[in-house]
Amino acid sequence: MMIDRRTALKFALAGCAGMLGARTAAAAGQSTPASGAMSKRTAFGFTFDALEGSSLQLADYARHPILIVNTASLCGFTPQYAGLQQLWSKFRERGLMIISVPSNDFGSQEPGGIKDIAETAQHQYGVTFPIAAKTIVRGPDAHPFYKWAAAERPADVPRWNFHKYLIGGDGLIADVFASEVEPMDGAVVAAITREIGGAARSTN
């Protein structure tokens, strides 16, 4: 069957219009029906094993800020446990959660087991916030939370013990603090105060 030039031109214009519409939708951040919609993953989808039984499900603290700190018992920064406990005492009633994540990844400075970790954190420094089981926080075998955090903030991955991720009430990384930054540093306190305020507004 022969198609005249006028009909062929009509088909060509229709095809161009369809392609242009698809490109415009993509530029506007819209998805085509075939592409579907994907929700952004948040920290609330992760769980840590607890130091002594059970688990620490981050979803239990949804809509509240969480400070997640990879810790070690034999590190020069180990005294930061005291500052973390101060932070916990200051903000706990306002919704802050702190989770210590012991790790032997840096300098092999967390070589012991459950009793050794508890002795340092809970008995020497009086820690009362939750402590996870010893965890790998970097490399291909890292805990899923740390893999997710590395993908979210590749320039802010842990480089030593007592690196701090502040998770906002929306489950995304709100701020990151290097090992050298003390828990009671003004920048940390300000960031937590800001996130607590944001979490409070979202519940009203």
Structure tokens at 30: 């819209």
Give the E-state strand segments of the chain in sequence order.
47-49, 55-57, 66-71, 97-102, 164-167, 173-177
Cα–Cα distance measured from residue 70 to residue 134, given in angstroms and rounded to the nearest whole number? 9
Whether residue 75 lies in the annotated active site: yes
Which member of 75, 114, 136, 184 is catalytic? 75
Identify the burial level of 153 via C-beta atoms within 10 angstroms of its C-beta, where 0-12 means exposed, 13-18 middle and 19 or more buried: middle
Following DSSP, what letter does each residue of 135-147 receive, concatenated?
Answer: ---SSTT--HHHH
Catalytic site residues? 75
